Chain A
C-alpha cells in the first residue's frame, strides 16, 4: 500500500530536489518526493493529510551519543539548564545551590526504604561562581542516607558525609589530586575523576553495572529521541557483551521501537586483533534497527577535565598536559586491521595533540593498506586547527565536532582551559566545511542534552551561556547545519545510502516539525517544535508516547 503524505514543506537534503510538498511511502521506504502530480504515477495510494501543516525533514541523526542518556533519568536532574526527560516533562534548571539541595530533599522525602541513596545528576557548579556543593550542603539533604550528585561532565561526583563514610573516605590522610580537603583535613565531598569516584560511587547508586545500558534505559532513550526528531542515534561506545547485544536486538526489533541504534564496540583491554575479530562477528549480527560492527578508540581525555592532550603551549591556566588513554602502537594496529577488514573506526581525540597523533597513525596505516572509502572519523576533535582539517581531507577522514561545548563550557574554555584564541577556534565547523571534510556535529548525550536542532543552533550561533559569541568566523549557515545533522552524520556512519535525505529508495525516516527551521531564523533554531517522527514508515507522535 502506498501512502502519500502532504506536508507544508519538505526539506529533502537531496540536492537534486531540495524541496517538496509530498512524499510517497511504501514498505517503510520512500518511493519519491515532489509534487502530488509527480507521485500519483506509482499507482493506487492513500493521501494522508495529517502532516499538512507540518514541515518534514529527513529523520535527524545523532552521530555521538550514549544510551546512558536514557539511564540517567532514573536519578534526580539537578542541572543548571532546563532539560526535557523521556516523558516530555521539562525539568526547570536548578539555578542555585539552594535549589539543588531543595530538589534533592524533595526526592529524599519520597523515599521509603531507609537504606536507599539519594542520587542526582547534571550538576554544573561553574554557574555558581566559587561556591561548591560541599558535603555540608548535601548533609542537609540527609545525614543518614548516602547522597551523591554527578556533574554534567560525568567526571566529578559530589557526595555527603554518609556516602564518604561508607566509601571509607571520611578520614584524614587522603592524599589524592582528585580529592580536595577542607580546613578540617577531611575530604570536602568533591571527587574528581574515575579513581576518586569509584570507592564511593557504588554507595550512591552510580554502580558501573547500573550505568551500562539496561533495557529500561534503551526504551527511555528512544522516547527522548522521538521528542527530538531523531530516528537514528549512536551509542558511542560500549563493550557489547553478548547478553547486552541479545537484549538490544530483542528490544529494537519490537514493532513499536522507534529508533535505529548504531552501537560501536570500544577497545578496552583486548588486543587490536581480538577487537577487530569481535567487530566482524558483531557486524554479522546487525539488524535493521541495531547496527553493529564499527569500533571506537579513545586517544585522550577531556579538555575541561585537563586530561586532553594539547600541543604547545598547553593549557591556558598552566595545568600539566593530559593523558594518553590508548598507546599509539595499539591505535596503529587497530587501524591496520580495520582497513584490511573494512571495519569502520571512530576515534575520540579531544586535544589537538591527540588529533595530530591519530592523523599520523592513520596516515601510516593507509600507506600500508590504501583504502578509498574508509570514513574513519575523528570524534570531538575540538581543538583541531586548519592544517589538521586539511590533512583530514587529504587522508579521507570525516570529523564529528562538538559545538554544544560552546554553550555549556565556552566561557570556561575562554577564561581557563585554552584561552581566547583557541576557545574561538574550538569545533571549527566553518573551517571543516571549507576544507571539504565531511562534517557531523553532536551532543555527546547525556553530557549535553540529546537534540540535533539545538546542536545545529550551537554551530550556527556559537553563543556561550553568558551570551558571548565564541568564534564568529566559525559559524555555519542554517542550511549547512541542517545537512550535518542528517546526511552529514549518516555519512560518518556509512549509512548515507539509506538515510539522511528524503529521496527515492531511502528509508522513510522523517523528523516532523511544527515550525520551519529555514523560516524561524538562526536565533530561534533551537526553539523549533518537534511533533514527532516517522521511522521506517511508522508514525510516532511525541505527545502520544
Chain B
C-alpha cells in the first residue's frame, strides 16, 4: 500500500503491433527525459528494447539507464512489476509500459485501476502507416489491431514517410474511425515532442515560462523543429476552477488540443493535476500542499489550437467555481 504522502505514479501505456515503433518511441523519450526519472516496463519477444548507449548498468532484471531512468521486463506479472517500481527509491517520476505487440493496451489500462500507487495518464498506440491497414484486414490479427486502436487516447501514425502523400489523408480518415477517442498525430521515426507523451513539466518553484519550447527536436528527415509542427498555449489561472468542468471542456476535439496539463486549485482551493489526452480527462488530487498552482499548458498541431475557445473554457471554469462558492 502506498505511503500517504506519495502521489500516485503517472503511467503512460504504449501499445501497437510489432514494428509500429514502440521501442523507437521509448528510446526517443528516454533521450529527451530532461531530468524526468522515467521507469520503463517492457514485455516483448524482440531484442533488448533500449539503445545500448543509454544503458549504464544491468542488475538482474533491472537496467539502469542514463539520467536516473530504469527499465525492466515484466513477463506475465505486470502487477507485481508495477508494485515493485512504485516502491522503488528514488521513486520514478513517470512510468511507461511498453506492451507486447499482441497485447490489448485497454486491458492494461484497466488493470492500473486495481493499484492505488499508480494512475493512468494516457494510452498511446502506434500505428505503422505502411502496414496498419493490411494488419487490420488480417484474418488473425484484425480484431487485435481494432481493439488496440479503439483504446487509444493518442494514436501516433508512424513511418508516414513510407506512405505516398496522396494516400495519407485516407489513412488518417480511416484511423479516425478506428480510434474514435483519440487524437491522431503524424510521425516519422516516432520523433515527437516529449511533452505530448509525458506531459509538460510544471516543476515546483518555476514561474510560467513564456519562452517555453517543446523539446525533442525532430532529428530524422525531414529535420524540422517541433515548433514547426506543434504549438502550445500557456495560461496562468490564479483563481480556483471547476476542474471537472474544465477538463471535460478541454477534451472537446473541436479545441484542437492533443495534450493539456495543468496544476490548478479546484473549487475547494485544493491543488489538483489536470490531464487531457484525446477524450481522456483525468483529475488527480495533489497530496503535497506546497505546489505552486495556477498553470495550464495546452499543446496542439500548429494552427489548430482554438485559442478563443480554450480561454472561454477557462473563464467558464473559473466562474463555475466562484458560483458554487456563493451558493
Contact = CB atoms under 8 A, between A and B. Distances in A.
Contact of A195 (B44, B45, B111): B111
Interface string B104-147: 10010011011110000000000000000000000011011000
B75 A269 contact: yes
Contact of A174 (B77, B107, B113, B141): B113
A270 interface: yes
Contacts, number: 86
A516 to B, nearest CB: 44
Contact of B76 (A168, A268, A271, A357): A268
B264 to A, nearest CB: 22
Contacts of B42: 269
B313 interface: no
B111 A269 contact: no
B1 interface: yes
A325 B99 CA distance: 11
A330 interface: yes
Interface string B52-87: 000000000000000000000111111110010000
A168 B1 contact: yes
Q: Which of B18, B74, B114, B143 gathers most chain A CB within 10 Å?
A: B114
A324 B144 contact: yes
A199 B102 contact: no
B46 A271 contact: yes
A469 interface: no
Contacts of A327: 17-18, 45, 100-102
Given A324-B144, A326-B45, A175 B110 contact: yes
B143 A323 contact: no
B214 to A, nearest CB: 33
A268 B80 CA distance: 16
A194 B47 contact: no
A309 B141 CA distance: 11
B79 A195 contact: yes
B75 A268 contact: yes
Nearest to A200: B114
Count chain A CB atoms within 10 A of each CB in B77, B113, B140 and give the residue with the most.
B140
B274 to A, nearest CB: 18
Nearest to A298: B76
Given A198-B79, A208-B77, A323-B104, A330 B113 contact: no
A175 B113 contact: yes
Interface string A320-332: 1101111111100
Contacts of A15: none
Interface residues of A, number: 38
A326 B114 contact: no
A292 to B, nearest CB: 20
Contacts of B144: 323-324
Interface in A89-146: none
Nearest to B43: A269
A169 interface: yes
A272 interface: yes
B11 to A, nearest CB: 14
B102 A324 contact: yes
Interface in A459-490: none
A439 B78 CA distance: 36
Interface in A357-393: 357
B114 A179 contact: yes
Contact of A176 (B43, B77, B102, B110): B110
A208 B80 contact: yes
Contacts of A324: 102, 140-141, 144
20 contacts: A171-B116, A174-B114, A175-B110, A175-B113, A177-B110, A179-B114, A208-B77, A239-B75, A269-B44, A269-B74, A269-B75, A270-B45, A271-B45, A272-B45, A309-B140, A321-B143, A323-B102, A323-B144, A327-B101, A328-B140
Interface of A: 166, 168-169, 171, 173-177, 179, 194-196, 198-199, 202, 208, 239, 267-272, 309, 320-321, 323-330, 353, 356-357
Given A196-B114, A269-B74, A327-B17, 5 more contacts: A195-B114, A198-B80, A208-B77, A272-B45, A327-B45
What are the 3 tightest A-B residue pairs by CB atom distance, in nearest-first order? A198-B79, A330-B45, A195-B111
Interface of B: 1, 17-18, 42-47, 73-80, 83, 100-104, 107, 110-111, 113-116, 140-141, 143-144
